[in-house]
Amino acid sequence: MRRFSLIVLAAAAACVQPPAQAQVTLSGTLDLGVKSVSNTGVGSQKSMSSGANSTSRIIVNGREDLGDGLWAGFHLEHGLLGDTGAAASASKFWDRRSTVSLGHSRWGELRLGRDFVPSYNNWSRYDPFAYVGVARSANVVSASPTGPIRSAFGSNANTTVRSDNAVQLLLPGGLGGVEGSAMVAAGEGGAVASGLAKVIGLRLGYATKTWGVSAATTSSENSLTTDGKFKDTAIGGHAQLAGVRLTAAWRQFDVGQAEQVLWLVGAVYTQGVHEFKASWTRSDMSGSVGTTVLGANDASQWGLGYVYNLSKRSVVYASVARISNDGASRYTITDGPAGMAAGGSSSGYEVGMRHRF
């Protein structure tokens, strides 16, 4: 096996004449670590984790300049579990993104295919842990596989993160700090069993060099959301103070009589190669799913993290997090031992390394 059969130039300057336009790019991330999670009453469990700092992935993408500000491009992104070598999604190899785009420097971008929904986009950017690792805000998102609002989507793929079959319009750059996007996805007449949902979403933001605010809303319906659309709204903001990036965000899921409100406060302090991260997330449930009253399903989580940047591409990191559950709530950090009783606490830590290529 020849390892370096394909030699790649890291800078255009490597050649005397600049290379013509790049047609395709192969890049990605591999991130692995060791992790331990303890849950009240059921002990602890060690495991190897993938993507605790940044999801392990492979990206194949490219862009073609068509002249006069017009361009075409594509983006395929495959998530993988580096600890076992498995694809992150058994049914969708390019689960993270699969889009083709036609764009113009002044008119924005028309993007077709599978991508993040606007509300997810507008929430995860304010999570200092980027929705991954022991301290990810996803741990207390009830629309994830563990929570009661999840029943709106049965056991199949939902739209709290991404949507298939989407048409998006994205605002161009150069609008004086205004950015935004609109998404529509076809339900394709399918039942939820195939993960299909009719989606409509919007995102609008404004940012300067030191602060920004943005809001998004996404509405989905499929054969399981029989008592009305599933609504997902996220509002957030950030401010840069000295070396600290402060973030705050609010997200609300609504379906039928059930509602979940999430609060997130985060801080990232960067000093040279050191990065310190802290987050606090709170989930408040209300209403009901069928005859199950959700009011006593609240939980809160805090997380702390440290990242040492070996280079722009390679880091080592450590994180610690703890979830406190109230009442019937039993949110846990993933990969811990099963069987924690309601109202228990889940705590965990991880140490790992991330390499981008």
Q: What is the CA radius of gyration of the chain?
A: 21
State whether residue 92 is helix, strand or coil: coil
- CB closer to its own copies, 195 vs 205: 195
Q: What's the rounded Cα separation, in Å, for the pair 326 and 283? A: 10
**Smallest separation (angstroms) from its own copies to the CB of 207:** 19
- CB closer to its own copies, 147 vs 352: 352
Q: What's the rounded Cα separation, in Å, for the pair 183 and 163? A: 9
**Smallest separation (angstroms) from its own copies to the CB of 289:** 28
Closest listed residue to residue 149, CA positions, set 229, 234, 219, 253: 253
What Cα–Cα distance (Å) separates residue 302 from each residue in 118, 134, 228? Answer: 25, 10, 33
- CB closer to its own copies, 98 vs 222: 98
**Smallest separation (angstroms) from its own copies to the CB of 111:** 9
- CB closer to its own copies, 197 vs 215: 197
Q: Are 223 and 120 in contact (CB under 8 A)?
A: no
Q: What's the rounded Cα separation, in Å, for the pair 191 and 121? A: 25
Closest listed residue to residue 335, CA positions, set 94, 51, 93: 51
- CB closer to its own copies, 78 vs 203: 78
**Smallest separation (angstroms) from its own copies to the CB of 129:** 16
**Smallest separation (angstroms) from its own copies to the CB of 82:** 5
